[in-house]
């Protein structure tokens, strides 16, 4: 994972509270949302909805599945989280306070490895310019097999991971 964060003006919690208040129909910042935001931003992991619900439950926090889905969608809309599609799973990661980066996704163990190559940014900018396209951001996920899975002595199948 990328260890470097970037300086931000507000905490994720304050930014989310501001987002909720700025909506056409302002919304309350509920205790379940507060617990979820604090939990998510206390670590920097890639996660899916089921995983965050399990992790929160294991930590003694209770949040309904419907609230989790709604809150995650709002956190993406607020620019706090980024949605990543890896196969049939939708995963999330911090967007607010972290520089743009790309990912290697291991299709065997689901590990996400973050990386940043300025050459990729330059190449994409050059090609966008050639086509008169204004690129705002990109999301590159390279699917394959991580070093640990490649070096494993016994072959691993997706069914073995269930």
Helix (H) or strand (E) holding 48: strand 47-48
Which domains occur in the chain, in start order? 9-96 (1.10.10.10), 99-162 (3.30.1490.190)
Q: What is the mean pLDDT of the chain?
A: 88
The answer to pTM > 0.75 is yes
Give the torsion sign (CA, 75, 51, 30, 96): negative
Question: Reduced to 3 states, what is the DSSP secondary structure of residue 15?
Answer: helix
Give CA–CA dist 133/108, Å, rounded.
Answer: 35
Give CA–CA dist 67/122, Å, rounded.
Answer: 40
pLDDT of residue 80: 94
pLDDT of residue 1: 45
Phi/psi of residue 105, nearest 5 degrees: -120, 120
Pairing of strands 89-94, 112-115: unpaired
pLDDT tens string 88-117: 889 999 988 788 889 999 999 989 999 999
Helix (H) or strand (E) holding 53: helix 49-58
Q: Do 67 and 32 form a contact (C-beta atoms < 8 A)? A: yes
Which carries the bigger pLDDT value, residue 124 or residue 8?
124
pLDDT tens string 63-74: 999 999 999 999
């Amino acid at each position: 994972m990328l260890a470097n964060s970037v300086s931000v003006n507000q905490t994720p919690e304050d930014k989310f509270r501001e987002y909720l208040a700025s909506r056409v129909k302002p919304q309350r910042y509920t205790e379940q949302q507060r617990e979820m935001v604090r939990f998510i931003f206390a670590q920097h992991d890639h996660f899916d909805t089921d995983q965050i619900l399990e992790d929160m439950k294991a930590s003694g926090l209770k949040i309904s599945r419907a609230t989790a889905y709604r809150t995650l969608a709002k956190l993406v809309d607020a620019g706090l989280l980024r949605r990543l599609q890896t196969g049939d799973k939708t995963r999330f990661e911090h967007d607010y306070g972290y520089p743009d980066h790309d990912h290697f996704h291991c299709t065997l163990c689901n590990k996400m490895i973050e990386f940043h190559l300025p050459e990729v940014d330059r190449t994409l900018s050059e090609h966008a310019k050639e086509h008169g396209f204004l690129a705002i951001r990109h999301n590159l996920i390279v699917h394959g097999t991580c070093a640990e899975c490649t070096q494993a002595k016994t072959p691993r199948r997706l069914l073995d991971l269930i």
